[in-house]
């Protein structure tokens, strides 16, 4: 794996987008400070300069069709879970790919793909892991960092190198049907609130006549990405695409 270390950048995902034509495959771009760190749904990502791991991996997948791209999300999320387990912290994957410790968010992931008609030309795998930050000041409701959980600070550069090894191992699984099947099984086993118990959800932009809030039990996640939730209020199992439903803490 190659590494590019930047003192300051708008966001590592944006940097990789601008430089995709010249970056070598499997290059991780790290930034000590992001002036416009990006999260899902256009959210910003709070990160104290030099205290956390904020990076984007430039990767050219092999053997992954566009319709199978959720496997890359699964592999990335599981790599973070694997790395946190190595650091002594048990984490879960909040669908589709946030990383939680209990009910607190320790990592956000933002993956973007450059697609052709039949293949994924490259992926921009962005992630922000809270490592040494002790206080958070944004309106994010539930952040947590590794140092808050363990009381020990980590060297961010060493964390990046270690994370890179877990990413390489998990992403390699996406290349074959057997590997993707194993990834999906591990993903389901690591699913946050995938405990067979009812939890509160909010449907985004509900159709007329449907309730916005409901209680549901996660039944499954499709290998293509949609989540299936049994509505314990109304009865049927409902399928949701990304951004159509949100968990209520």
**CATH top-level class of 2-189:** alpha beta
Q: What residue segments make up the domains of the chain, in order of their start? A: 2-189, 199-247
Q: How far is CA 142 from the centre of its chain?
A: 16
pLDDT per residue over 189-224, tens digit each?
999 999 999 999 999 876 666 668 999 999 999 999
Task: Please give the torsion angle defined by the CA atoms of residues 199, 200, 202 and 207, in that order, rounded to the nearest 10 degrees.
Answer: 80
- Give first-to-last CA distance, the chain, whole Å: 37
- Cβ burial of 91 (10 Å; 0-12, 13-18, 19+) is buried
CB burial of 216-235 (b: ≥16 within 10 Å; e: otherwise) equals bbbeebebebbbebbbeeee
pTM across the whole model: 0.92
Distance CA 102, CA 132 (A): 19
Span 80-129, pLDDT tens digits: 999 999 999 999 999 999 999 999 999 999 999 999 888 999 999 999 99
């Amino acid at each position: 794996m190659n590494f590019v270390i930047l003192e300051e950048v708008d966001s590592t995902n944006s940097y990789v987008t601008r430089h995709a034509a010249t970056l070598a495959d499997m290059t991780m771009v790290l930034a000590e400070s992001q002036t416009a760190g990006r999260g899902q749904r256009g959210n910003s990502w709070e990160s104290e300069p030099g205290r956390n791991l904020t990076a984007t991996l430039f990767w050219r997948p092999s053997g992954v069709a566009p319709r199978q791209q959720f496997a890359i999300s699964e592999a990335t999320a599981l790599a973070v879970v694997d790395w946190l387990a190595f650091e002594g912290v048990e984490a879960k994957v909040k669908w589709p790919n946030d990383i939680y410790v209990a009910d607190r968010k320790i990592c956000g992931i933002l993956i973007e793909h450059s697609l052709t008609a039949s293949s994924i030309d490259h992926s921009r795998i962005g992630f922000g892991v809270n490592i040494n930050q002790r206080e958070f000041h944004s309106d994010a409701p539930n952040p947590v960092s590794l140092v808050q959980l363990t009381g020990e600070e980590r060297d961010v550069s060493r964390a990046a190198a270690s994370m890179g090894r877990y990413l390489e191992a998990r992403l390699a699984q996406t290349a074959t049907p057997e590997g993707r099947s194993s990834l999906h099984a591990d993903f389901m086993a690591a699913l946050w609130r995938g405990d067979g118990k009812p939890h509160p959800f909010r449907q985004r932009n509900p159709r007329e006549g449907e309730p916005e809030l409901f209680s549901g039990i996660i039944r499954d996640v499709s290998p293509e990405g949609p989540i299936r939730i049994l509505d314990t209020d109304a009865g049927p199992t409902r399928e949701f695409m990304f951004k159509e439903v949100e968990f209520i803490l």
